Amino acid sequence: RQLRRSCDELLSKLDSRAYFRSWVSEWESELSSNTASKLNSYPIIVVRQNSGGSSGGVLVAKANFDQKHEYLFREIRYLKWLGYERDIPRTIALVSEEAIVRYPYAMALKTALSSYAAARDLITPELEPLVAKELRAIKDSIAEAFDVSSDGAKVTSKRRIRWDSKDISGWVAALNELVSRFEERVEILLRACDNIDIAIEALGTVAYDRQKFCDAVENVQKVVDELSLAGYSDLASWGDRVNRKMGAVLAKRL
């Protein structure tokens, strides 16, 4: 009898049904707390992110996909393997199916937005006008997915992207392409800035020889010409700042 009681007690602890009921209860509670709203239909949300302990923070675009939903469809997959497919509540199964459809787009969005944020952080206010065209294109694309334009006004005529939009695949691909282009432009611009700094520094140390001074100035001009040929916007204002730096260096040598 003692052995029987011990076995029954062990079996009760190994009762998978109890764990399944607990799992269902936890997810039903989770889903009921996340009430449906209009925002859930948008692929992107804009949140305020604190930086450096600031109370205000900055606005950041993020993929509107709850990481818990990824865990959900993975858990349901394992439960189906264990034979619980018919026992899974339909409401939970529907959320899982929706998450499976959204998941690849959400991951692509996360990658694009993360890459954009990293490249954007490399651009100083002085350099921002040179990539204004690329920044505007990305902001306009992002704005299509949360119901406002890049200047904050409500969109009325442009297309609006939802999770269930037929062209969401094309929109995600286009956004990734814009971000890749922006990263490329930022890389070229930063490399040009480094070359400009090196050339101007050389201008401050070159020997007092006319040809050597001309060569140093030509190196600066060559970089500016390359950016001009590459089609960077507002290059004239940036060129004026470069000229002022050169003038300051040359003034010290007088």
One-letter-per-residue 3-state SS of 72-116: HHHHHHHHHHCCCHHHCCHHHHHHHHHHHHHHHHHHHHHHHHHHH
In tens, the pLDDT along 188-232 reads 999 999 999 888 888 888 777 788 888 888 888 898 899 888 888
Assess whether pLDDT exceeds 90 at residue 237: no
Q: Tell me what pLDDT residue 56 has.
A: 58
What is this structure's pTM? 0.79
Region 177-189 average pLDDT: 95
Q: Given this model, what pLDDT does residue 2 score?
A: 66
Residue 13's pLDDT is what?
Answer: 60
Residues near 143 by beta carbon (within 8 Å), at least 6 away in sequence:
149, 150, 155
Mean pLDDT of 232-243: 86
- Model pLDDT, residue 157: 45
Distance CA 47, CA 1 (A): 62
Specify the DSSP class assigned to residue 148. B
Helix axes 132-143, 90-121, angle to 10 degrees: 170
pLDDT in tens, 133-168: 999 999 999 988 875 544 555 544 467 888 988 999
Helical spans, DSSP H, in 204-234: 210-229
The pLDDT tens digits of the residues spanning 25-72 come to 888 888 776 655 545 788 988 887 765 544 556 788 889 888 888 888
Mean pLDDT of 228-248: 87
Q: How far apart are CA 28 and CA 70, in angstroms?
A: 16
Burial of 134 (0-12, 13-18, 19+ CB in 10 A): buried
